[in-house]
Structure 1
Amino acid sequence: MRESDLTLLVTAARKAGTIATGYFGKSPQVTDKPGGAGPVTEADLAVDLMLADFLRDKRPDYGWLSEESQDGPARLSTARQFVIDPIDGTRAFIGGTKDWSHSLAIVENGAVVAAAVYLPLHDLMFTAAAGMGAQANDQTINVSRSAIDQARVLASKPNFAPALWKGATLPPFQQAFRSSLAYRLCLVAQGRFDAMLTLRPSWEWDIAAGALIVAEARGTVTDARGLPLMFNNAHPQVPGVIAAGNDLHADISARLEPARANH
């Protein structure tokens, strides 16, 4: 019997963790991607190579989109696609902190149907399958229901610039940050933080898995304009992300300037 897509992603994520932790803290080789796209380590590339071999061998008919693989049009004609970030939070990985993750998703008809986000140094596995709820280490998780004046919001500093908010007034929430976008989404799904937002264009591999996990944890996750997220785009970016419980999501969206999507 063929294993489920979610089981496959979990197995692959654990394999990725074994490889990445073998490099962690040992000064892995680092190079800078062209065009200021950020650093990449030999660990990112080793994980990507393993995942491509392992997952594509198991599902040869699935398309492939990974941060560390060359993209092409072939995936656009497939029924399902892997959307992978071998190491999300590479700067945290290089810096020796623990908050980096492996983000693995499967997309069908533009929507994520299975997802796993694994933080090996926390031994923390977030999972979700469409219609089946979200879990952290096999325990059901749900978003919080905090109001905006009590909310803890994960975002990088540029997202808190007053000019992005109506009346140039930042809402009365607490600000926090984690390096990995996938982990930020999962922390919201887990209810440890109340919302996350990024108002800049976001690569699909950073957010696909976490977006399903938030949605299955009874949260709302949209692009920065409040529209549904769609994946497997020809150019694999979406215009930002807002994720929170339903009421808080609506409140945050209402307080943002309409032009924030292109920040």
Structure 2
Amino acid sequence: MPASDLDLLIEAANEAGEIASGYYTADPQVWHKPDDAGPVTEADYAVDHMLREKLRSARPDYGWLSEETEDNAERLSTKHQFIIDPIDGTRAFINGSRDWAHSIAIATDGKITAAVVFLPIRNQMYAAGRGTGAFLNGERLSIRDRVGIPSVLAAKPNWQPKFWKNGTPPECDQHFRSSLAYRMCLVGVGRFDAMLTLRPSWEWDIAAGTLIIEEAGGIVTDRAGDPLVFNNPFPQVDGVVAGTNAAHSLLRDSLA
């Protein structure tokens, strides 16, 4: 049995990658969730089942929150919780893109304490433990402020004038990637200065990425500038603004 929570998550992520890769570009069965909540594939369900069995067998006293498992109130009475997105970026997975990930985290008393985001097709394993740093394939991550126009990862709707003071977004170099967890990792590795999503965000999309950015030296808050709290009764937070100190301040100061 793995000695630490983070070792357990890394082992589970590798197994998830093996399962999902077997379905990748193999025309998996696809269903569409109610209320336009997006697609889900047989690969999502297969990975979710494996993770639930493996992780809860190893840590039976931990609560469980996953995008592909029906939620219940049991997790609210636990000290620790697994927060899981079996495949983040399912549309990318269906379309044959490489930008999908397994996002696996553990929360303790509302804070993420261990986190893994694994992109099997890119062979990129992002991992972080609270107080012990963030890593990509074993190499420590460290981000810092840069001079010039910040590069920001965000979907197009986030740049609508209604979200910004005087109806004008700050001057930014705008980019996009399919997986929200992957966007957060790209900030953690220093390829982009910031990411944001201004709509309510599901905890499973952002839990692992939050710790990866924080342990790399960045800042992660909700759109109001407050720290993120996890294992909420309704598992959403009020958007996410994350990045280097300077980029985070620019975005937060510019929001309406």
Letter in structure 2 aligned against 1:36: D
Q: Provide the aligned C-alpha RMSD in A.
A: 1.0
Letter in structure 1 aligned against 2:43: A
Cα distance, 1:2 vs structure 2? 5.5
| Alignment of 1:197 onto 2:196 | yes
* 1:85-234 map, 5 Å: 85-147=85-147, 149-234=148-233
Aligned partner of residue 70 in structure 1, secondary structure: coil
Aligned partner of residue 150 in structure 1, secondary structure: coil
Q: TM-score, normalised by structure 1?
A: 0.95
2:51 aligns with: 51
Give the whole-Å Cα distance in 2 for the aligned partners of 1:170 and 1:21. 39
2:62 aligns with: 62
More moved, 199-208 vs 248-257: 248-257
Q: Is the 8 A contact 1:20 1:47 kept in 2?
A: yes
Q: Is the 8 A contact 2:116 2:127 kept in 1?
A: yes
Letter in structure 2 aligned against 1:246: N
Q: Which runs of 5+ in 1 are unaligned?
A: 258-263
Give the whole-Å Cα distance in 1 for the aligned partners of 2:106 and 2:135. 17
Cα distance, 1:151 vs structure 2? 1.1
Please identify runs of 4+ aligned residues in structure 1 that moved more than 2 A.
Answer: none
Give the whole-Å Cα distance in 2 for the aligned partners of 1:107 and 1:217. 18
CA deviation profile, 1:55-114 (whole Å, cap 9, x unmatched): 000000100000000100000001100000000000000011000000000000000000
Structure 1 residues 19, 2: CA separation in 2 closer, same or farther (over 3 Å shift)? closer
| Number of residue-to-residue matches in the alignment | 256
Letter in structure 2 aligned against 1:14: N
Give the whole-Å Cα distance in 2 for the aligned partners of 1:142 and 1:165. 29
Letter in structure 2 aligned against 1:85: D
Q: TM-score, normalised by structure 2?
A: 0.98
Give the whole-Å Cα distance in 2 for the aligned partners of 1:232 and 1:126. 22
Letter in structure 2 aligned against 1:175: Q
> How much identity, in percent, do the aligned residues show?
57
Aligned partner of residue 233 in structure 1, secondary structure: coil
Q: Is the 8 A contact 1:144 1:193 kept in 2?
A: no
Q: Is the 8 A contact 1:144 1:188 kept in 2?
A: no
Give the whole-Å Cα distance in 2 for the aligned partners of 1:142 and 1:186. 12
